[in-house]
Structure 1
Amino acid sequence: MLLSSRSRGRIALATALTAVFALLVPGVAHAAPPSNDDFDQAAAVTALPFAAQLDTGEATQAPDDPNWCQPYDVRGSTWFSYTATADGYLRASTAGSDRSMILAVHTGTRGALRGITCDSGTDATTTFRATAGTTYSFMISGYDAPGGALSFALDSVARAANDDFAAAQPVPALPFSAQPDFSVASYEADDPEASCQYEGNLVPSVWYAYTNSGPAKSVTARTVGYGGGVSVYTGASLPELKQVACVSDSYGRQTAFRAATGTTYYVRVTGPSDNREPVTLTLDDAPALDPSIYQSPSYPTVYDTVGFSAESWNDIDKPMTVAWDFGDGATAPAGTEPVSHRYAKDGTYTATLRATSPDGRTATKTTEVVVTTHDVGITKFTVPSAAREGDSKPISVDVSNTRYTETATVVLSKHDGTYWREVGRLTIEVPARPTRTVKFPFSYTFGPDDAALGKVSFRAELKLDYPVTDARPVDNEVISIATNVKPRGSRVVAV
């Protein structure tokens, strides 16, 4: 049956009035906040382990609910309280809840609550050190919206077995890896302050002990994870520890130390107490020292001062101490800075470096240095002093060469008033003759443009075939004194 629009409106109004009436009349069921919705009605935890599940979808927020953990995201809250019966660590968690929760732990009374620790997420978890007789209040609230199906658990947890120096965990063999739980770690009064860390010694730490039972060797140590750090010591007790290596986590950087036979090395690993990001410790044998030799220039001559340096990709190798043998009888003592050397004669030399890393690893590397000196030069450039339009005049370039037979090219150019323009090119083999030169003969015919300018300058450029380069190119280019050029039919006086 079809209803008119007026009939449908009456039915909708009646339905709305019925709903309002149901809210107002006693005995009609509707949702309510949980019983532990307020701090004063906190559910008491009387024994551990403890677990509870409840619907917090209708939880409300009191005006004085603390919001120090997530200042702008707290929406509705429920409360639990527990009075510690012994000193030790407690761990609270909302794992199993159906949405993100904010879990904050407090001590104190209403209006004077002090935040201890907090976490947020679908499995918000926090661990803290509790003191016997102290009451801890747990506020669980929704994240951006009132909560839903909450799972809350509280239990005691044992502190890290290797929390103290005296209980350092033995490292059975290398490589070794561990992921400490710093939420159940603390610091001792005499814990050493690592030179590479800036938090002082008031950070949670755990200890490991490594004894090298084999020959002396280098060992690397690193931590990966936010807030991690590792320092290595020798000594029999906290007051007498001496640091031998240290590194704070920065993109997985590592440190290295020399492990003597039979010596025990104590490894202190530090991390954040909130343990939000795991910190992983790794101990391993150090890689072989493998420096690279850098030489500049790559193709030196007897006129060059050759620079040598040793580099390594690995931070634990730096600064390397390097001694050099240049292969011609000259040496450079051990040092950390680049060195330089000039070879007196052409030849092939074997340069040798002997490098030592800070932790005592050594390496020897060699490289061949090929010294070749090509040296040609223009000794004479002959051009006419005067010419007339239409005249063809000889131009010559004398080239000297004292070391190797070279295939040389001379490029002859003239200046047209704006640019240099090539007017000739000759390639001739030039023998190595200390007291003689080779002449490159050119002929040039002067044209109307030259006469219009009245003067013409020539340039001779001497080039060697690639990849050969001249050791002293300063004498490879000559510009002539200008030639005076007269129009056709003019009288020219040669000088």
Structure 2
Amino acid sequence: MLLSLRSRGRIALATALTAAFALLVPGVAHAAPPSDDDFDQATVITALPFTAQQDTSEATRAVDDPSWCQSSDVRASVWFRYTATADGYLRASTKGSAPEMILAVHTGTRGALRGVDNGCGIGADATFLAKAGTTYSIMISGYDVPGGALSLKLDSVPAAANDDFANAQPVPSLPFSAQPDFSVASYEADDPESTCQSEANLAPSVWYAYTNTGEAKSVTARTTGYGSALSVYTGSSLPELKQVACKNDSYGQPTAFRAATGTTYYVRVTGPASSYEPVTLSLADAPALDPSISQSPSYPTVYDTVSFSADSWNEIDRPMNADWDFGDGATAPAGTAPVSHHYATDGTYTVTMHATSPDGRTATKTTLVTVTTHDVGIAKFTVPTAARVGVSKPISVDVSNTRYAETATVVLSRNDGTSWRQVATLTLTVPARPTKTVRFPFAYTFTPEDLADGKVTFRASVSLDYPIRDARPADNEVIAIATTVKPAATRITAV
């Protein structure tokens, strides 16, 4: 059946309205994927430097898109391809893209692609060593979303000028700092061994040369940055280099070495080829040695053996070699271990320490050691052998003291079967006497509770006023033989 002109007009109008409506429906994709959406249609880069601005929001993914550069499957990708014309470093960058992009560089053919060393960058550059005649396939994929506004740059970059020992960068003066770019550095086959860096890692390295033109001095060297390390050598060629210092604690204190006049020191710095933080090398004059003297005990007596050691908050100062003068005529030869000394008499002594750090810095420190010996003791503790309930009996504690006049306190306690309970306390002045003692008199009235136990055990303890410390506390406490407790005496009434 033939349609009338009116019917055909209505159909055409409906079709046009439907198409227009479809354009207004949100969420419906209408743009075609980018021309380089697939590996086989990669954009060919013919010359460097190369830049590209591209909208990848309509990009798709192929089932065989490689995902070695990220922890999850690729959501969408576009491809670029470049065949290197010479050996050297290439740097690819997606900086400026919105949102961040994942950049992954490959060699090989579809189905057999291999990731290139250092050819992965997530929102960052990827710098890799290219070989002439090798084709590199660069996949760009979205990080959190399928795609967006891509800004891609690819260019050749020179190798680090001080990549090799022979081209070590001179250090003009101290202090000195530098931030080497390890992405354009390599491992030199004859690089010397280091006790701070495993050569099995084959980490890229750069070299610096420092010559001390002044008097001999100590120099500190350190690196900051994850995975970094440094080693310091002397010598004029790689085979004859000898290590003098090294450090691989990225955020710890520096290492130190003694720089002789006119000697050149070569500093080899290693670090990761790709890192989210820069590596910084710092060289500086070492600070003056500032050791301290540690002493134990702090308040010695003639009965103590006093221990001394050289210490410092600065790691490069340790272990220090020190010799000692104890101030009483005795000395100790140089060594790194703590030393011990016994003072025979009370007094104040000046202790002198001559210290030397591992890198040769020296310092002299003194400290005053005061030896004071306070010593009281219980010479005699007298308690009754027996007593009756209700009767008060004398108890005495004789305290000896031969050094200084002391104020001593004696505490008298009794045992209630499970613990000691204080009965009385008395404080007296105890003069220093060679043979005589001071008696602390007490009296105790025996109770029915004592009778129930059948006996009472007394304890006497003597102490000195704080902060005075008794030098020999072993004789400051005595427990007496138990006192037998009897019933009260029966009173006989006259008839």
TM-superposed CA distance for 1:22, in Å, is: 6.8
Cα–Cα, structure 1 residues 395 and 52, in superposed 2: closer, same or farther, change >3 Å?
same
Alignment of 1:262-277 (within 5 A): 262-277=262-277
TM-superposed CA distance for 1:69, in Å, is: 0.8
Cα distance in structure 2, aligned partners of 1:57 and 1:449: 96
Secondary structure of the corresponding residue to residue 443 of structure 1:
strand
Mapped contact 2:119–2:128 kept (Cα < 8 A): no
Q: Write the letter of the residue equivalent to 1:118.
A: G
2:413 equivalent to 1:403: no
Cα distance in structure 1, aligned partners of 2:296 and 2:429: 30
TM-superposed CA distance for 1:277, in Å, is: 2.3
2:158 equivalent to 1:161: no
- Partner residue in 2 for 1:457: 457
- Partner residue in 1 for 2:103: 103
* 1:241-273: CA deviation from partner (whole Å, max 9, x where unpaired): 111110113323321100011111111111111
Cα distance in structure 2, aligned partners of 1:350 and 1:143: 69
- Partner residue in 2 for 1:447: 447
TM-superposed CA distance for 1:215, in Å, is: 1.0
Cα distance in structure 2, aligned partners of 1:482 and 1:71: 81
Mapped contact 2:223–2:251 kept (Cα < 8 A): no
Mapped contact 2:203–2:271 kept (Cα < 8 A): yes
Cα distance in structure 1, aligned partners of 2:226 and 2:351: 44
Larger CA deviation: 90-99 vs 420-429: 420-429
Cα distance in structure 1, aligned partners of 2:343 and 2:394: 42
Secondary structure of the corresponding residue to residue 34 of structure 2:
coil
- Partner residue in 2 for 1:196: 196
Cα–Cα, structure 1 residues 274 and 16, in superposed 2: closer, same or farther, change >3 Å?
farther
- Partner residue in 2 for 1:337: 337
- Partner residue in 1 for 2:69: 69
- Partner residue in 1 for 2:59: 59
Secondary structure of the corresponding residue to residue 316 of structure 2:
helix
* 1:188-222: CA deviation from partner (whole Å, max 9, x where unpaired): 22111211112437221111111111111110111
TM-superposed CA distance for 1:274, in Å, is: 1.7
- Partner residue in 2 for 1:8: none
TM-superposed CA distance for 1:452, in Å, is: 3.3
TM-superposed CA distance for 1:136, in Å, is: 1.2
* 1:309-345: CA deviation from partner (whole Å, max 9, x where unpaired): 2222222122222222222222222222222221111
Cα–Cα, structure 1 residues 36 and 377, in superposed 2: closer, same or farther, change >3 Å?
same
Cα distance in structure 2, aligned partners of 1:425 and 1:276: 72
Cα distance in structure 2, aligned partners of 1:168 and 1:411: 79
- Partner residue in 1 for 2:322: 322
Secondary structure of the corresponding residue to residue 75 of structure 1:
coil
- Partner residue in 1 for 2:259: 259
TM-superposed CA distance for 1:19, in Å, is: 5.1
* 1:98-120: CA deviation from partner (whole Å, max 9, x where unpaired): 11211011112222222103334
- Partner residue in 2 for 1:3: none
- Partner residue in 2 for 1:79: 79
Larger CA deviation: 456-465 vs 218-227: 456-465
TM-superposed CA distance for 1:178, in Å, is: 0.5
TM-superposed CA distance for 1:96, in Å, is: 1.4
Cα–Cα, structure 1 residues 16 and 334, in superposed 2: closer, same or farther, change >3 Å?
farther
- Partner residue in 1 for 2:482: 482
Cα distance in structure 2, aligned partners of 1:38 and 1:185: 33
TM-superposed CA distance for 1:20, in Å, is: 11
Cα distance in structure 1, aligned partners of 2:60 and 2:452: 101
Cα distance in structure 1, aligned partners of 2:173 and 2:425: 74
TM-superposed CA distance for 1:31, in Å, is: 0.6
Aligned length: 472
Mapped contact 2:308–2:340 kept (Cα < 8 A): yes
TM-superposed CA distance for 1:124, in Å, is: 2.6
Cα distance in structure 1, aligned partners of 2:317 and 2:482: 62
* 1:455-480: CA deviation from partner (whole Å, max 9, x where unpaired): 22221111111111211111111111
Secondary structure of the corresponding residue to residue 91 of structure 1:
strand
TM-superposed CA distance for 1:234, in Å, is: 0.8
Alignment of 1:201-240 (within 5 A): 202-240=202-240
Mapped contact 1:187–1:201 kept (Cα < 8 A): no
Cα–Cα, structure 1 residues 490 and 251, in superposed 2: closer, same or farther, change >3 Å?
farther
Cα distance in structure 1, aligned partners of 2:108 and 2:420: 92
Structure 1 stretches of 4+ with a deviation exceeding 4 A read 14-17, 19-23
Mapped contact 1:219–1:256 kept (Cα < 8 A): yes
Identity %: 77
Mapped contact 1:100–1:120 kept (Cα < 8 A): no
- Partner residue in 1 for 2:120: 119
- Partner residue in 2 for 1:6: none
Mapped contact 1:323–1:355 kept (Cα < 8 A): yes
- Partner residue in 2 for 1:300: 300
- Partner residue in 2 for 1:5: none
- Partner residue in 1 for 2:8: none
TM-superposed CA distance for 1:276, in Å, is: 3.3
* 1:386-418: CA deviation from partner (whole Å, max 9, x where unpaired): 222232222211111111111111112223344
Cα distance in structure 2, aligned partners of 1:262 and 1:454: 92
Larger CA deviation: 478-487 vs 133-142: 478-487
Cα distance in structure 1, aligned partners of 2:253 and 2:396: 66
Cα distance in structure 2, aligned partners of 1:81 and 1:50: 11
Q: Which runs of no fewer than 5 residues in structure 1 stay unpaired?
A: 1-13, 24-28
2:385 equivalent to 1:362: no
Cα–Cα, structure 1 residues 490 and 471, in superposed 2: closer, same or farther, change >3 Å?
farther
Q: Write the letter of the residue equivalent to 1:319.
A: P
Cα distance in structure 1, aligned partners of 2:395 and 2:71: 90
TM-score for the superposition, normalised by structure 1: 0.91
Mapped contact 1:169–1:209 kept (Cα < 8 A): yes
Secondary structure of the corresponding residue to residue 166 of structure 1:
helix
Cα–Cα, structure 1 residues 114 and 20, in superposed 2: closer, same or farther, change >3 Å?
farther
- Partner residue in 1 for 2:150: 150
Q: Write the letter of the residue equivalent to 1:75.
A: R
Q: Write the letter of the residue equivalent to 2:436.
A: R
Mapped contact 1:73–1:143 kept (Cα < 8 A): no
Secondary structure of the corresponding residue to residue 434 of structure 2:
strand
Mapped contact 1:255–1:316 kept (Cα < 8 A): yes
Cα distance in structure 1, aligned partners of 2:370 and 2:57: 81
Secondary structure of the corresponding residue to residue 470 of structure 2:
coil
Q: Write the letter of the residue equivalent to 1:251.
A: Y
- Partner residue in 2 for 1:46: 46
Cα distance in structure 2, aligned partners of 1:280 and 1:444: 80
Cα distance in structure 2, aligned partners of 1:213 and 1:65: 59
Cα distance in structure 2, aligned partners of 1:98 and 1:91: 19
Mapped contact 2:412–2:424 kept (Cα < 8 A): yes
Secondary structure of the corresponding residue to residue 434 of structure 1:
coil
Q: Which runs of no fewer than 5 residues in structure 2 stay unpaired?
A: 1-13, 24-28
2:311 equivalent to 1:311: yes
- Partner residue in 2 for 1:10: none
